[in-house]
Structure 1
Amino acid sequence: MRVAIIGTGVSGIAALKCCSEEGLEAVCFEQRESFGGLWVHRSKPAANDTSVTQQVICNTSKEMMAFSDFPPPEAFPLYMLQKKYTEYLQLYVKHFELESHMKFNTKVNKCDYKDSKWILEVEDLRTNVITEEHFDAVMLCNGINRKAKWPNYPGISDFSGQLLHAQQYRKASDFSGKNVLVIGMGNTATETAVELTTEAGKVYLSARAGKWICKRLTPSGLPTDIHLFRKLRAYIMQILPRMMKQFWLKNFLSLNHKFFGLDQDSTISANTLTMSDDVINKLVCGKLILKSNVERFDFNEISFVDGTKLTDIDAVICGTGYELDYSFLAKSLLTIKNSKLFAYKHVLPPELIDKKLAVIGCISVFGAVAPLYESQCRLATRVFKGLVKLPPKEDMLKDIATTIGSQRNVDVIAYQDELCELIGCKPNIKRLLLEDLFVGLNVLLGPCTSYQFRLTGPGKWVGAKSAILNQWSRMYYPTSKHWKATLTPWTSDFLKIIICLMLMGLLFILLLTKLF
């Protein structure tokens, strides 16, 4: 079976690896000159070409964002910079010998399905030669951060200063001494504003509503995602009332958001959380000034909904997100409603399952996305081969109707479990505890790293147990090279639970003796 993969970002690399794993003949098309997608910094990108800045730090820790059969080197930092994460991708591609299947400087102009084949019109950007290629299956891996989404405030087109999207921003020195307004308060907009404070004259940050700010490390020094994403905690959170879950999450953030003008009524979710270690420091020292939502532009004057105005702004940067862009695909093929893809498990459009088309990476999460992309690819390739028994179409449509609203707020652990259950690689924790107690406890009480989905089923990896047992030492090696794990954090948590249960039991016994 011949598979076309469009894009060589994180999802495209994962797709190519999964095709190779399943024995499928894959060709990966990339219009840039190298793989890595937006993680490869480009000083002068083309239109609709998103690229992170060189100062970007990953929002998730290295163990949580690793592919399931390729742990990061222990010398890599706990949170990787752009350059280091690109290096990790290069190591992965080299280890699994994937680059020979990639075609760079090659653009897919059209993609359509005719006569039981996918027909791609492909252009070589170096020679402008256009050819036609035929495939049995297609995996769309061009990402959700390509087509810039612009705000439509009244008068914005008449703004007298410089107007650009965060997609076009490259470095703070380009705005040296200028007064800049950044619109939006997602991860990109917030980090852009923080970075600008090192060079710009004044920096303002405008948000429609408050945001919940989360730091990369907990007060104890543990990575936030390592602390949050654990199987046992996820199981407990599933049975707790919504109010109790929100109370716990707000208490975990341990920041008086109202004091900083960030308070809001919305619940904590992937849409309302922003990862930033520095934004609060910039606010309290006056380097960054928070503004309400923009109301309108009037040449050189910007009005805000709280009645305030600014007249000294030299540049406006819009960190207002992106729109889904599959313009190369025949319009009748994909169904997109309110910028959300109509697809089973956010991967398989029901009307195209028989035609073998999968969309990878069309989700947003608070947490690591690379392992989710990988599981999406593992599912898609096995569906292509007819090795996964999908539910009836009616059931899939009901599932889509239930889950499409959460496509931009996916529950990391629950979604990963759903994908891996379909693949057949979700570990049975009860059986695991009986067969290998220590590994089972690590899976249940430790961080939900992707290695556990290589313990069993299709794609089983002999190094999975070792990867799980050594993840704590790899995590702390860069900062504590001589650290020996005598008591891992999950072990101490387990002991606290046991002690609490023992104390509760003792109190119960004492109460019984008093009563009777």
Structure 2
Amino acid sequence: MSEELKRVWVAGPLIIGAGPSGLAAAVCLQQKGVPSLVIEREKCIASLWKLRTYDRLTLHLPKQFCELPYMEFPQEFPTYPTKKQFSSYLEEYENHFSIRPMFEEEVRLAEYDSTIGFWLVRTNKSEFVCRWLIVATGENSEPVTPEIAQISNFQGRVLHTSMYKAGSDFEGEKVLVVGNGNSGMEISLDLCNNGAQASVSVRDTVHILPREMLGLSTFGLSIRLLRWLPLPLVDRFLLLCSWLIFGDTRQLGFKRPKIGPFEMKNTAGKTPVLDVGTLAKIRSGHIKVVPGLKRFTNKGAEFVDGRVEEFDSIILATGYRSNVPSWLKEEELFSQKDGYPIKPFPNSWKGNNGLYSVGFTKRGLLGASLDSRKVAEDIAQQWNVDTKHLDSAC
């Protein structure tokens, strides 16, 4: 290792990532009496939320399903807290539990040294040595930019949703949104509400559900039903309610997958779209649905059905990916192909040699909280045994 790097010995676990997952892991460890150190590549906590999300973003699930361990949301917060409110909640979480991350520490390499029984984690500034390593960088570390033919030919502006802030920046423009997930649908609505002519390109099949059913959040209602009914039956109920509320979404240009929304979430990790008003705008003609994108032209795009249209701007709502394979030298817990744990939930949180993952369950903040508690419990047992041995030796 370079002699210029500052060596840091970490008494407890080293946590990579100061987003919700990393903070939750640190707090759960703290509650078990285990010290930890959090490192973060950016200058702030929750950088994805603060720096790479659009202004109108709110939590997609009710706040009670998004709370981090040991701290509730303020009672005055709405059911679906805004981006600003959630960021303030995370800041209060950090301050209340006195979590002090080391910022601007971007991990370049992490590998286990079997000769000494410790992890060596090299960043742009430091070399950390630790017995336990918790990967909490999350599922959304790096924006995904698809390879679309002749993208460089387009003369307008092209940006990923990570750079999109508000529809008011596109007032009067004709804008194509590539991607029909939650972000793509919400951004299309935001553009429409701010005077832009929005079109959303639909390539994949998708389940679109109401955000609320029967006076309850769709997610909350589903959780209740799953306590009593098998998953296929709950899926059928959700799809029936969706059809009664929205009608046949195929007539609007959306094709449903062959399997139900919860089965798809469990097997493929693909989240259904929770509609917040976009379908009404599509039905009224204010937002246009177009087929999948084939290639860019100088002034717009050609679609798979052969039609060609002109656009002023194109927004890529094409998601994010894990960057773990680029720096973690390990092949038993994390897949080198996609950067997700190889074992499915709920067994995705623990690897070998003191390696753990938090926030890779494809179940959002609720999954991260579950991971954090399991990881803290497991490490605390080892920590307490080591402490007893040290006391006996003294």
Q: Provide the C-alpha distance between the structure 2 equivalents of 1:207 and 1:339, rounded to a whole number of angstroms.
A: 26
Q: Provide the C-alpha distance between the structure 2 equivalents of 1:338 and 1:29, rounded to a whole number of angstroms.
A: 23
Aligned-residue RMSD, C-alpha: 2.5
Task: Give the drift of 1:39.
Answer: 2.0
Matches within 5 A, 1:191-202: 191-202=186-197
Task: Give the drift of 1:362.
Answer: 1.4
Task: Give the drift of 1:157.
Answer: 3.1
Q: Provide the C-alpha distance between the structure 2 equivalents of 1:245 and 1:155, rounded to a whole number of angstroms.
A: 44
Q: 1:348 to 1:60 in 2, by over 3 A?
A: closer
Q: 1:301 to 1:94 in 2, by over 3 A?
A: closer
Match of 1:309 in 2: 308
Task: Give the drift of 1:143.
Answer: 1.2
CA deviations 1:63-100 (Å, max 9, x no partner) are 222234322222111111111112222333333x232x
CA deviations 1:389-423 (Å, max 9, x no partner) are xxxxxxxxxxxxxxxxxxxxxxxxxxxxxxxxxxx
Task: Give the drift of 1:117.
Answer: 1.0
SS in 2 for 1:54: coil
* Residues 1:295 and 2:294 aligned together: yes
Match of 2:7 in 1: none
With 169-178 and 324-333 compared, the bigger mean Cα shift is at 324-333
Which of 234, 248, 273 in structure 1 is aligned with 2:237? 248
Which of 222, 227, 234 in structure 2 is aligned with 1:228? 222
Match of 1:363 in 2: 361
Match of 1:118 in 2: 119
Does structure 1 conserve the Cα–Cα contact (< 8 Å) formed by 2:202 and 2:253? no
TM-score normalized with structure 1 length: 0.64
Matches within 5 A, 1:406-417: none
Q: Provide the C-alpha distance between the structure 1 equivalents of 2:256 and 2:208, rounded to a whole number of angstroms.
A: 11
Supply the AA of the counterpart residue of 1:80.
P
Return the structure number with greater relative CO, CA threshold 8 A, min gap 6: 2
Match of 1:212 in 2: 207
Matches within 5 A, 1:49-128: 51-95=52-96, 97-99=97-99, 101-114=100-113, 115-123=116-124
Higher gyration radius (CA)? 1
Does structure 1 conserve the Cα–Cα contact (< 8 Å) formed by 2:33 and 2:380? no
Q: Provide the C-alpha distance between the structure 2 equivalents of 1:314 and 1:346, rounded to a whole number of angstroms.
A: 45
Q: 1:245 to 1:295 in 2, by over 3 A?
A: same
Match of 1:329 in 2: 328
Q: 1:9 to 1:59 in 2, by over 3 A?
A: same
SS in 1 for 2:121: strand
Q: Provide the C-alpha distance between the structure 1 equivalents of 2:349 and 2:237, rounded to a whole number of angstroms.
A: 36
Supply the AA of the counterpart residue of 2:23.
I
Q: 1:357 to 1:214 in 2, by over 3 A?
A: same
* Residues 1:158 and 2:149 aligned together: no
Match of 2:389 in 1: none
CA deviations 1:153-173 (Å, max 9, x no partner) are 322232232222111212222
CA deviations 1:411-464 (Å, max 9, x no partner) are xxxxxxxxxxxxxxxxxxxxxxxxxxxxxxxxxxxxxxxxxxxxxxxxxxxxxx
* Residues 1:38 and 2:32 aligned together: no
Does structure 1 conserve the Cα–Cα contact (< 8 Å) formed by 2:321 and 2:338? no
SS in 2 for 1:362: coil
Q: 1:74 to 1:259 in 2, by over 3 A?
A: same
Q: 1:228 to 1:346 in 2, by over 3 A?
A: closer
Ranges in structure 2 where 5+ consecutive residues have no aligned partner? 1-10, 384-394
Number of paired residues? 359
* Residues 1:262 and 2:254 aligned together: yes
Q: Provide the C-alpha distance between the structure 2 equivalents of 1:183 and 1:313, rounded to a whole number of angstroms.
A: 12
Q: Provide the C-alpha distance between the structure 1 equivalents of 2:122 and 2:69, rounded to a whole number of angstroms.
A: 34
CA deviations 1:262-300 (Å, max 9, x no partner) are 243432323261012110122123221001111222333
Q: 1:265 to 1:346 in 2, by over 3 A?
A: closer
Q: Provide the C-alpha distance between the structure 2 equivalents of 1:222 and 1:264, rounded to a whole number of angstroms.
A: 23
SS in 2 for 1:320: coil
Q: Provide the C-alpha distance between the structure 1 equivalents of 2:80 and 2:108, rounded to a whole number of angstroms.
A: 37
Q: 1:314 to 1:107 in 2, by over 3 A?
A: same
Does structure 1 conserve the Cα–Cα contact (< 8 Å) formed by 2:207 and 2:257? no
